Amino acid sequence: MSRRRLLLGASAAAFLAAGCSAEKKRAPDESGAGRSGRGVAPSGALGANFNGDPRDLSFAQLRGLSAGWLRGFLPMREVGKGALERQRAVATLLDAHEQGYGTVLSLKFPYHERAFPAVGSALMDAELARVEKVASAVLDKVDILVIGNEPFIESRRAERGGPDLNVFYEHLAQHLVAYRKKHYAQGCRTRLYMGALNHLDDPAWRTAATRRWMEFVQDTREIEGVDIHPHVASLDAAQQYLDYVVPLLRADQRFLATEFSLVLDWSAHMRDRIPARFARRYGIDPDTRVWELLRSAVRNPFPERKWNAFLSMCPWFSRNRHYLADQVQRFRDTGKLAVATYGVAQAEAMVRDIGPDKRPWLLNSLYATRTVRRHADGEDGRTQAWFEDFRALQRRSDRRPVDTGTTDT
């Protein structure tokens, strides 16, 4: 098995073939909580995220991080193209579940180029059928299922203000709630959340549709909270997400932050010259721009020391070297965080066509899998600032997730 790929192992395949009744009991956490009973909801956990592509992720990396949670998303257009359990994101999360990780799966509905289907239409029925297929494969296996990935981005501009967007997602959620209640009458451990809100630091994105989104979350007993994706330029910008969402949650609800970063700050510096000290040390033309340096690192990966030297000498990165710790602390300080997840590895899409206007997502990753040479022992290179703070943020109770059982009564 490649260290940089997660494949559905034999144990997971046997589990899937046997069905839920033969589910392997998850190992207890340090507190002794096991699979019996309802358990408790996750609170303040920090895990790892691979988005839709787990090919650069390995369980060895997760062990190196002491991570106890893993998140990915499933593009719903992939449902129906072969066995769902062999789709990369789903297979990875089911395998992680078997190994004792807490798991979060977000359902991604791309409607960038088409209108939302009307309730009762053949197109809506087809969408509901896909949702049911996913539900049959993952309910009572993944710990958290998120309805929608980034709904207000993954839609046409004209529909972002609702109400068609709201009606579509509300109908999906209600159908999934009904499906879970029908097929898991004795209770289901999978918790349901509504998908992620974006750009809440911009007043133009705090609309009647986002307010209705939160009202639906608040009014629907079976929904346990909402996801947010604060990709921002500053901690204060991310605080505006919390100021908007937290007061609108019920007392028993929490929020997820399955993606977050300072990518908008990094973007503002792509045309900067590289640090003069770094240029002198490594014999590089001092007029080289940051984006050119990143492209060079992708084409010919750096030694880890050189990669981290570059980042530490960039003032815009260095002054934010503890961003991960600071942001997670703000999430936790609300008392409402369920799980936050942060990017593990530099996926192929991050390093394709690097230019001055491409979002530098690759700077966020814990492991620098595309910009740093692998070590002689086979270990992946690290972005040291993020890696060290991520490990320091892990808490004893997060390393082995407790049972996250729920009921529908």
Tens-place pLDDT, residues 250-266 = 999 999 999 999 999 99
CA distances from 278 to 48, 119, 242, 269, 365 (A): 31, 58, 38, 16, 21
Backbone angles phi, psi at 133, to 5 degrees: -65, -40
DSSP β-bridge partners for residue 339 = 45, 256
Share above pLDDT 70 across residues of the chain, in percent, rounded to a whole number: 87
Q: State the chain's mean pLDDT as an integer.
A: 89
Closest residue by Cα to residue 226 from 144, 157, 109: 144
Range of weakest confidence among 24-33, 267-276, 283-292:
24-33
Tens-place pLDDT, residues 318-373 = 999 999 999 999 999 999 999 999 999 999 999 999 999 999 999 999 999 999 99
Report DSSP state, residue 115.
Answer: P
Peptide linkage before 163 cis (omega within 30 of 0): yes
Closest residue by Cα to residue 368 from 23, 61, 12: 61
The answer on pLDDT for 22 being more than 70 is: no
Q: List the alpha helices (DSSP H) in 252-367.
A: 263-267, 276-282, 290-299, 304-313, 315-318, 323-333
Given pLDDT bands bounded at 50, 70 and 90, which one contains residue 409?
very low
pLDDT of residue 86: 82
Residue 222, burial from CB neighbour count under 10 angstroms (0-12, 13-18, 19+): middle
Q: What value does the CA radius of gyration of the chain take, rounded to a whole number of Å?
A: 21
Tens-place pLDDT, residues 54-104 = 999 999 999 999 999 999 999 999 998 888 888 999 999 999 999 999 999
pLDDT of residue 294: 98
Backbone angles phi, psi at 245, to 5 degrees: -80, -50
pLDDT of residue 67: 97
Given pLDDT bands bounded at 50, 70 and 90, which one contains residue 397?
low
| Predicted model pTM | 0.88
Tens-place pLDDT, residues 280-292 = 999 999 999 999 9
- How far is it, in rounded angstroms, from Cα 126 to Cα 78? 13
pLDDT of residue 84: 84
Looking at per-residue confidence, does 11 or 171 come out higher? 171
The answer on pLDDT for 394 being more than 80 is: yes
The average pLDDT across 171-192 equals 95
Backbone angles phi, psi at 332, to 5 degrees: -65, -35
The average pLDDT across 181-201 equals 95
The full length of the chain comes to: 409
The answer on pLDDT for 20 being more than 50 is: no
pLDDT of residue 315: 98
Q: Give the DSSP H/E element, type plus range, for residue 196.
A: strand 191-197
Report DSSP state, residue 319.
Answer: T
Looking at per-residue confidence, does 220 or 408 come out higher? 220
**Could you tell me the two tokens for 354?**
């690097």
Tens-place pLDDT, residues 208-241 = 999 999 999 999 999 999 999 999 999 999 999 9
Share above pLDDT 90 across residues of the chain, in percent, rounded to a whole number: 83
pLDDT of residue 80: 86
Given pLDDT bands bounded at 50, 70 and 90, which one contains residue 15?
very low
DSSP β-bridge partners for residue 382 = 367
The maximal CA–CA distance of the chain, rounded, in angstroms, is 67
SS (H, E, C) 326-343: HHHHHHHHCCCEEEEEEE
pLDDT of residue 398: 59
Cα 299 → chain centroid:
27
pLDDT of residue 12: 36
Tens-place pLDDT, residues 362-392 = 999 999 999 999 999 999 999 999 999 999 9
pLDDT of residue 408: 45
The answer on pLDDT for 303 being more than 80 is: yes
